[in-house]
Structure formats: structure tokens, C-alpha cells
Amino acid sequence: MSEAETIHAGCVLVGEAGLLIRGASGSGKSRLAREVMSLALSAGRFGRLVSDDRTRLEAHHGRLLARPVEPLGGCIEVFGLGIIRRPFENAAVVRLVVDLSDDPARYPDEEDRHVVLCGVMVPRIQMQAGAISADVALGCLSGVCDTVVTL
């Protein structure tokens, strides 16, 4: 039997990779999700909503799966407008977790670069809540932000 839990987070699918976005209410999770999907689509890549606000996570064969919580499938919040409907995917394999916070570490420690969810270790980045950072999140999801430069 796999571990499972429902968390306060959103998830988008870019190509075959799921991006799980966590943060407090009002931190910009939905906005980041919409920006990542838009940026992916404008670059000719597949980008689609999996979940917004509530996400069901489960471990399955060593992978972390994200699914929408019913009846929220296809719903995403637009601040100042409300809840809108969008096409969505029923599941994604999470390849990266983005944690939005008001005060992320300027230079994160090595142990901050991964998180264990439902018993599965997943790469993680921490970003400033409310910042325009879809390009960074998409780059990290694509593996182009793996390099650490030491000066």
C-alpha cells in the first residue's frame, strides 16, 4: 500500500514533468502555476494544470504522483477575478517542488535542495513569494539550473 496525503499546494505538468508549488495562502501559488503554463506553451512545450489549492499526493513505485482533489479538478484561482475553469490533467509525476516563502535563504544549504513527501525524495527549490519567477522554476524543472557556481 502506498503512502498518500492531501496538501495545500498546486501542481502543473510541463512536458512529462510535474511541478508541485507549495506556499501559504496568498503567496502566489496559482499565479506561478499560470505563469509556468503560459511560458511553457509560448515555448512550444506542453503545459497544463493538474491541481490548484489542494493536491492529493501518493507514492507509487518510488515516484511521487500528484492528482487534483475532487471536485476541484480544472479549477484555478485568479486573484481579483475568482475561480476559473481550465483544461487539466488527472495526474503528474512530481519532478520538482517549489516552496514559496516570504524569506527564503539567499544561499540554501544542500539539505534544503530536496524534500521527502510520502516517503519519496524530490528536488526542491525555495523562491520568494509573489516574485515573478516562472522562468527560473521552468529552468530548474528542465534541469538547466543545476549548476552551483563558487566564486
Beta carbons of 123 and 97 less than 8 angstroms apart: yes
Total domain count, the chain: 1
Over residues 118-125, the mean pLDDT reads 95
84 belongs to a structural domain: yes
b vs e for 79-103, b when ≥16 Cβ sit within 10 Å of the residue's Cβ?
A: eeeeeeeeebbebbbbbbbbbbeee
Does 149 score more than 50 pLDDT? Answer: no
Any idea what the Cα angle at residue 105 is, between residues 100 and 111, rounded to 5°? 95
150 belongs to a structural domain: no
- How far is Cα 79 from Cα 33, in angstroms, rounded to an integer? 13
148 belongs to a structural domain: no
Range of the domain at 81: 4-141
pLDDT at 144: 54
51 belongs to a structural domain: yes
Cβ neighbours of 139 (radius 10 Å): 14
92 belongs to a structural domain: yes
CATH number, domain with residue 100? 3.40.50.300
pLDDT at 2: 60
Q: Is the pTM of this model over 0.85?
A: yes
pLDDT at 150: 40
Give the tens place of pLDDT for each residue, 76-119: 989 889 999 999 999 999 999 999 999 888 888 888 899 999 99
59 belongs to a structural domain: yes
